[in-house]
Amino acid sequence: MKSKTICALPWVQVSTSIEGIYRLCCLQTGTDVFNHIKVLDVPIKEMWHSKEYNRVRDRMLKGEYLDCCARCYREEDAGLESARMRHNKNWGSYISEPKILLLDLRLGNICNLKCRMCNPAISTAWIEDEKKLSVRNYSKTSLEKMENYDWYNQESFWNDLTTVLDSCEMIYLSGGEPALLMDQQIKLFDKCIEMGVAKNIEIEYNTNLTIDVSKTSKYWKHFKHTKINCSIDGIGEVNDYIRYPSKWDRVEKNFLLLHEMTKGNNAHINPVITVQILNILHLNSIFEYLKELKLKATLNILDEPNFYNVKVLPKNLKDKAIKRLSTWNVPELIEYMTNEDWSHLYPKFLRETEILDKDRNQKENGWKTLQKYHLKK
């Protein structure tokens, strides 16, 4: 599909946000094209045929650029394959009559980690830090709302989901940390099996690998396939620094367990690296680690907060990153990193890093320590 504006998702996917509103997709930025319509207020089928959804479809077909799709446009301009392009490869043939084939369910923000690049809207563990430090400039009112994203506990939501399962081909579960909502997931899996539709559905869910999710393995055989996205942003102390307060020993143990369990078991794991300023110099080490396991990572380039984006890295460190990555086939990533200079945001990154280092009792001037760790590997 050669169009620069059409994305297949408005024809095939319903997506929910952490706060329980409908959204175009998980990468949506800027203006909310669905006018903050709550999942609990409007049934899925009604929303699917709403004027809001139809307006998005019409604008794309007319060749209009949507502000909310800015991230994909930016990545495509840098020569990267965007999510829009990937979705069009997989689902582009369905752009005719809208039919719900995908459910993208982000079930709240409950999480046990406060990763450096994360925020209170996505992780409840971040909320107390933000109240104390105000590094991300969230208001008190906003933080109070973020403590109470519990819409997914309503029986009406799960009952509504069952009305679209008969046409569904994929269910994607994210969070927060979805493993902390395993009971809700299992309830959904049981319903799919009970309705006799599980065999038609691929399941995909994320995990930060701090929790053993192997008990869901008994469900894998019932579904068409299961994909487990495993967050791997660093090896050893790089993981411990970025994905605080996780510990690499535990993360690796759960990762290797899933790796073994999925072999020949109608499931597979997908290592996902959130590429950012804190690990761009370390990617080669992660690539080497995964290569030994015969695994290849999916690269998720961090967009927000913008001062963690790899474009912010000063030129001398970009040059070192390029040298490190030269033996790996990632020319699009290098082009993305170097085609713009955002180094004016570097002081902001350093200020926040210093504040978090002190508050979390991590290494003093942890970024410099991390650089030394990266560069000696």
d(CA 356, CA 301): 22
Query: In this model, does residue 286 exceed pLDDT 90?
Result: yes
What share of the chain in percent tops pLDDT 70?
Answer: 98
Identify the band that residue 372 occupies on the pLDDT scale cut at 50, 70 and 90: confident
Query: In this model, does residue 84 exceed pLDDT 80?
Result: yes
305-314 pLDDT, tens digit per residue, is: 999 999 999 9
What percent helix, strand, coil does the chain show, rounded to 5? 50, 10, 40
Amino acid at 91: W
Rounded to an integer, the average pLDDT of 318-329 is: 94
More confident residue, 344 or 2: 344
d(CA 63, CA 5): 6
Query: In this model, does residue 345 exceed pLDDT 80?
Result: yes
- Determine the pLDDT at residue 266: 92
Identify the band that residue 366 occupies on the pLDDT scale cut at 50, 70 and 90: confident
Identify the band that residue 375 occupies on the pLDDT scale cut at 50, 70 and 90: low
Domains of the chain with CATH codes = 101-376 (3.20.20)
User: What SS3 string covers the chain?
Assistant: CCCCCCCCHHHHEEEECCCCEEECCCCCCCCCCCCCCECCCCCHHHHHCCHHHHHHHHHHHCCCCCHHHHHHHHHHHCCCCCHHHHHHHHHHHHCCCCCCCEEEEECCCCCCCCCCCCCCCCCHHHHHHHHHHCCCCCCHHHHHHHCCCCHHHCHHHHHHHCCCCCCCCEEEEECCCHHHHHHHHHHHHHHHHHHCCHHHCEEEEEECCCCCCHHHHHHHCCCCEEEEEEECCCCCHHHHHHCCCCCHHHHHHHHHHHHHHHCCCCEEEEEEEEECCCCCCCHHHHHHHHHHCCCCCEEEECCCCHHHCHHHCCHHHHHHHHHHHCCCCCHHHHHHHHCCCCHHHHHHHHHHHHHHHHHCCCCCCHHHHHHHHHHHC
- Determine the pLDDT at residue 143: 95
Rounded to an integer, the average pLDDT of 76-95 is: 89
257-284 pLDDT, tens digit per residue, is: 999 999 988 999 999 999 999 999 999 9
Query: In this model, does residue 79 exceed pLDDT 90?
Result: no
Query: In this model, does residue 241 exceed pLDDT 70?
Result: yes
Give CA 104 to chain center in angstroms: 11
What share of the chain in percent tops pLDDT 90?
Answer: 81
User: Nearest Cα to 55, choosing from 74, 37, 81?
Assistant: 37
Identify the band that residue 339 occupies on the pLDDT scale cut at 50, 70 and 90: very high
Query: In this model, does residue 35 exceed pLDDT 90?
Result: no
Identify the band that residue 376 occupies on the pLDDT scale cut at 50, 70 and 90: low
- Determine the pLDDT at residue 2: 77
Query: In this model, does residue 185 exceed pLDDT 90?
Result: no
Maximum alpha-carbon separation in the chain: 58
**Kindly report the CA angle at 77 between 71 and 83, in degrees rounded to 5?**
45
Query: In this model, does residue 139 exceed pLDDT 80?
Result: yes
- Determine the pLDDT at residue 377: 59
- Determine the pLDDT at residue 1: 61
Mean pLDDT score across all residues of the chain: 93
- Determine the pLDDT at residue 164: 96
